[in-house]
Amino acid sequence: MSTKEILNKNNIPSHVAIIMDGNGRWAAKHGKARIFGHEQGVESVRAAVEAAGEIGVKYLTLYAFSTENWGRPTEEVNALMGLLIQAIENETEKLNKNNVKLGVIGNIEMLPAVVKGKLMNCINNLKSNTGLNLILALSYSSKWEIINAVKNIAASVKNGEIKTDQINERLFENCLTTRGIPDPELLIRTSGEYRISNFMLWQIAYSEFYFPEKLWPDFTKEDFFEAINNYQKRERRFGKTSEQIEG
C-alpha cells in the first residue's frame, strides 16, 4: 500500500518547497559527470510534480538554480541551462494536460535570453490552468529578494507614497517575489544536508522542515508522500502552547 492512501486529506499542506540537493554526489556515486546527476534529477522533478498534483498541494516551489550557482564551472552552468530548456520543451504539453500552472521567482534577467524566452512562453501557455502552481526558483536568493523589497519600500517612502509607520509584515510580503503565494507549510531538503542555503528566509519563518537522507535523483513519489505523512504528525504551535492548540 502506498503512503498516499493513509494521508489525511484534510491536512495537506497548501505549499511545499523543496531544496533539491545531491545531484552531484549521485553522479559521483555512479561514476559519472555531475550533469548526469542533474539529468536524473529531472526525473525526480517529474515525480514530485505528479505527487503534489495527486494529493491536492496547491503550490510546489523547487529551488532549481540559486544566485550562488552562477559561480559553478561554466560547463555545469551551461549544461543546467540546457537542461532547463529541454525540460520546458519536453514537459509543457504534459503540464498542460495535468492543469499545472507555471511560475518563477528569482532574478530572471540574469538568465540567458533563450532560457528566459522559453520560460515566459511556457508560463504564458499554462496561465489559464487552475491545478497545481509549480514555481521554479531560478537565479534566486533570499537575500537578493529581501534587498529588492527594502529598495522598493525605501523608494515608496522617499516619493511620499507611504509613511514609515505604514511598513508592516503585509506590506513587506507584497514586495517579495512570492507576493500572493502562501508561505510553505513544509520545506524539504534532500541529501542529508541541514542547511537553508539562502532560500525563502522570510517565508519559512514557521515552516516545518524535513531532511531525508536520499539524494535528489533517488527521491520518488513515495518519498514525497512520506514527507507529507511526516508533516501530518507534527504539532504546529506558532509560538503558542500545546494546550492552546488542542483547545
Residue 20 CB, shortest distance to ligand FPP, in Å, is 5
Residues near ligand FPP, by CB under 6 A: 20-25, 38, 41-42, 45, 62, 64, 69, 83-84, 87, 136
- With 0-12 CB in 10 A as exposed, 13-18 as middle and 19+ as buried, what is 123? middle
Is 69 among the residues known to form the active site? yes
User: Given 21, 183, 218, 223, which residue is catalytic?
Assistant: 21
**Beta strands in 26-149, from DSSP E residues, in sequence order:** 59-66, 101-105, 133-140
Supply the minimum distance, in Å, between the C-beta of residue 83 and ligand FPP.
5
Instruction: Collapse the DSSP code of 59 into the 3-class scheme (helix H, G, I; strand E, B; otherwise coil) and give the result.
Output: strand
* CB nearer to ligand FPP: pick between 70 and 206: 70
Please identify which of the residues 8, 10, 69, 121 carries the catalytic annotation: 69
* Residue 38 or 118 with smaller CB distance to ligand FPP: 38
- Identity of the residue, 66 or 178, whose beta carbon is nearer to ligand FPP in the bound complex: 66
Please name the residues in contact with 29: beta carbons below 8 A apart, sequence gap of 6 or more: 215
Cell 514586495 appears where?
175
Report the C-alpha gap between 137 and 84 in whole angstroms. 12
| Distance in Å, CB of 214 to ligand FPP, minimum | 12
Nearer to ligand FPP by C-beta: 138 or 181?
138
Per-residue b or e along 134-157, where b marks 16 or more CB atoms closer than 10 Å to that residue's CB: bbbbbbbbbebbeeebeeebeebe
For residue 63, the minimal CB distance to ligand FPP (Å) is 7
* Nearest-approach distance from CB 88 to ligand FPP, in angstroms: 8
- Kindly give, in sequence order, each residue whose CB lies less than 8 Å from that of residue 214, ignoring residues fewer than 6 positions away: 22, 190, 191, 223
Q: Which is nearer to ligand FPP, 7 or 215 (CB)?
A: 215
Residue nearest to ligand FPP (CB): 24
Give first-to-last CA distance, the chain, whole Å. Answer: 34
Residues catalogued as catalytic: 21, 69
